[in-house]
Amino acid sequence: MLRMLAVTAHPDDEAGAFGGSLRLYSDRGVETSVICLTPGQAATHRGKAKDDHELAALRRKEFAAACAILNVSRAAVLDYPDGQLHRIEIHRVVSDLVRHIREFRPQIMLSMGLEGAITGHTDHSMASVFATLAFHWAGRNNRFPDQLTDGLQPHRVQKLYYCTAPASLPNRQPISLPPVTARIEIGRYLETKIAAFHAHQTQAPLFPLFDLHVARLGSPELFHLAASVAPGAVPIETDLFEGVEQQQAA
Ligand SMILES: [Zn+2]
């Protein structure tokens, strides 16, 4: 069984960053999982929520609806504080992610780059830090050895990708995006990606900017191969599972 894990910071990142690829690979028989680190309770756009608690509850529901559209089989929103991921003890979050990797045993991981993806959000940068360390540590028996009881084994994920884009947004603080090494043609799943983003109704004021950005980008989703169990020169890939070892995939 092929499996893919995405690590994000906020509900709506899953759709905006790689919604097309999540649904495309699901339809190809890949089991997908999304771990979202915060319920997005610090968002500027708050729908009808009266406080952070209500907003978190609304956004958890919207995340579940988006993940249903994307056919994500294991979707979870953790309870870390939105806007504060840089203040959280690093081992706590990485331990959570390593445990999930060792249980789910994906061959591929997706996250955002250290720049914070297209918006440069601090939480996105931190999601990248946590996901990257979890990728490197899940396969080692001297990292979080306390987890290696009751049959849980180290698991080496084969490739880690960051989402990227051909250009940053205008009139923002400067960000330097990771170079494109994989171009995934999502075709008709572009509509699915937009539908999944629009499931985040509290974020409706963002839809015009998102729709414009997606229309400008067209149908490929772009990625940067950040780490691989098979290092070496990388040609531009058109399939995230290119070169994945089948015996490890079983
Ligand atoms: Zn976000």
CB 109 within 8 Å of CB 240: no
Question: If you measure from the C-alpha of residue 13 to the centroid of ligand 1, how many angstroms do you get, rounded to a whole number?
Answer: 5
Rounded-to-integer distance, Cα 154 and Cα 134, Å: 11
The confidence band for 249, taking pLDDT boundaries of 50, 70 and 90, is very low
How confident is residue 112, by pLDDT bands cut at 50, 70 and 90?
very high
Domain boundaries, the chain: 3-249
What's the 151 CA to ligand 1 centre distance in angstroms? 35
Q: Which of 174, 169, 170, 181 is nearest to 220 (CA)?
A: 181
**Helical ranges in 138-245 per DSSP H:** 189-198, 207-217
What is the Å distance from ligand 1's center to 94 Cα?
19
More confident site: 217 or 115: 115
CA 235 – CA 221 distance, rounded (Å):
16
Q: Which fold has domain 3-249?
A: Rossmann fold (3.40.50)
Identify the pLDDT of residue 246: 65
Q: Judge contact between 220 and 233, C-beta under 8 A.
A: no
- Cα–Cα distance for residue pair 214/210, rounded to 1 Å: 6
Distance 117 CA to ligand 1 centre (A): 9
The per-residue pLDDT for range 87-100, each reduced to its tens digit, is 999 999 999 999 99
Contact 74/106 with Cβ under 8 angstroms?
Answer: no
Ligand 1 center–CA 149 separation, angstroms: 34
Distance CA 36, CA 8 (A): 5
Question: How many distinct helices (H) and strands (E) make up the chain?
Answer: 7, 7
Q: How confident is the model at residue 55 (pLDDT cuts 50, 70, 90)?
A: very high
**Assigned token pair, 110:** 């997706």
Q: What are the residues facing 31 on neighbouring strands?
A: 3
Q: pLDDT per residue over 184-237, tens digit each?
A: 999 999 999 999 999 999 999 999 999 988 888 878 999 999 999 998 888 899
List the structure tokens of 98. 């390593």
Per residue in 122-171, pLDDT (tens digit) is 999 999 999 999 999 999 999 999 999 889 999 999 999 999 998 888 88
